[in-house]
Amino acid sequence: MATAVAAVLLAGCAPGTGTDGPGSSAPETPAPVPAETAQTPSPTPPSVAERAAARIASMTVRQKAEAVVMGYAAGTDPGVLSGYVEEGPAGVILMGDNIPADAASLAELTSAIARTTDPPPLVAIDQEGGVVSRLSWDDLPSALDLKGADPAAIEQAFSARGDLLAEAGVTVNFGVVADVPRGDGSFIFSRAFGTEPENVADAVAAAVRGERGRVRTTLKHFPGHGAAEGDSHHVIPQTDISYDAWRARDGAPFAAGIDAGAELVMMGHLRFTAVDDRPASLSPEWYRILREELGFDGVAVTDDLGMLMSSGDPAYGDPADNAVAALAAGADLVLMVAGSDPSTAGDMIDGIVEAAGEGALPADRLDAAVERVLALRLE
């Protein structure tokens, strides 16, 4: 009996049969579970402005000059127009002779232009509707039809117009007139939303909201044709009203359009002598007012610089000089149509490069202009 008990005790102590041994039937201690790995946040994508700034760092002066010029070439040949952009200005405006018979053909044309550069060039148009209309198939109400209309109706009309332009591949519309004519005798009356600044301001804001997200909207013609009457295609209209009077009346629709999100403002060739003897398109003070007083941080584009030449003033007889003067004053994009030929944009680019090299156009001013235009193209 004692021998049997001893055998049992010895068996209980034998290797491989204890509670800690490999032969134990007790559950094994589970392996430690590693602590949860901390999630690494995804890097924040660079902003459009940061992407634009990064591109500028590797651009030559000539490439910068090309980026701030918008020109015009005749016809509807996709090869001609895409070649024009590829060899010079990084933006093109489509005039009446550039528009094919239907929307599908226009989309083919703009698609060819878009493939020429990275990011795609700006493709602009004057599509106000009514008196100023490039698209024959746009039968939507114009400002003339919408005078006194409810803002909702104006927003609807410009939303539909923005859709037409987007479908056709147009990226910028020079199409929202923010001028406040003094009466129906004004040359701009048929293109404006009315003669009372409050009504015009509400209409302009509605038009901007309508085009928003469809096509980039341009307010024109800053500081306003209403005070400075006369057709700036042929003369440089002039007024001596005070800044305060301008701000209360003519400035109101521009402020409303900027607050509504307009991406561009077109600078008119208009003299407000109480502010500056120079046309607003060439006036550092008017660009300062636009930026600092109205808070605009988008692209300031000149009205057609060819109109300055058409005024007959010999001071504005050279398109390259006009382009340099506008950029130095504060413009981001210089537009040239009237009196131009396929070589004009190249001459302007040459003039900008020369002015930048000589210091007549400061490097930081050119870079600021390029950054705004590139950001618009990258959006």
Q: Where in the sequence numbering do the catalytic residues fall?
A: 233, 303
Phi and psi angles of residue 122, each rounded to the nearest 5 degrees, phi first: -75, 135
Place of tokens 């204890």: 18
Supply the DSSP string of 135-158, one letter for each residue. Answer: -TT--S--TTTTTT--HHHHHHHH
Name the nearest CA neighbour of 132 among 167, 93, 105, 171. Answer: 93
Judge whether 83 and 51 are in contact, CB under 8 Å: no
Strand duo 69-70 + 334-335: pairing: parallel
Instruction: Output the six-digit token pair for 179.
Output: 């001028």
373 Cβ contact list (under 8 Å, min separation 6): 67, 68, 90, 91, 122, 299, 332, 333
| Cα dist from 171 to 1, 217, 262, 336, 375, whole Å | 105, 9, 13, 18, 13
| Cα dist from 154 to 109, 138, 145, 213, whole Å | 29, 15, 10, 16
